[in-house]
Amino acid sequence: MGFDFVSFFPRAVMQGIPLLFGSTGEILTEKSGNLNLGIPGIMYVGGISGVIGSFFYEQAAGGQLNGFLAIMIPILCSLLGSLLMGLLYCFLTVTLRANQNVTGLAMTTFGVGIGNFFGLLIFRLFRLLREVCRMNRCRIQYIEVQNFKLVVDQLLQTIPFLL
């Protein structure tokens, strides 16, 4: 099995487009006099916010998903997560006059850590919900109250990842 050049270039372009958007935004930001090295962290938090919004919408809607809401809720959650990280960067660098390089790198590290933590949390929560529903032969949105303790226990087991 060799390297496939035909499928490599379209995938490289497809996966490079978000980086192109981020670098274009950074070019415009640098023209205003700010150096934001936290763009990857901001994008990471936006991405995981969209995944979380999609996950909770799927759990709430059950099997009857609205196509418009299935697209708009993750987009709005991504925008909200990125907006909050951008506001945090703006507050730290403009209002508190923190160093832009240090703040940007700290936000990148923070964003990647938050994204990995919540990504693992969502994965474990989905796996646990699937197991509970398999045992009870129920749908995911109809979890009984006594099984809620299992979900809380699983969430509390992931807290050591914060430390």
Q: Residue 141 pLDDT > 50, yes or no?
A: no
140: confidence class by pLDDT, cuts 50, 70, 90 = very low
The shares of helix, strand and coil residues in the chain, as percent rounded to the nearest 5, are 80, 0, 20
Mind listing the pLDDT tens digit for each residue in 86-138? 999 999 999 999 999 999 999 999 999 999 999 888 888 877 777 776 766 55
Q: Which of 44, 65, 55, 47 is nearest to 124 (CA)?
A: 55
65 vs 99, which has greater pLDDT?
A: 99
What length does the chain have?
163
Average pLDDT, stretch 26-55?
A: 90
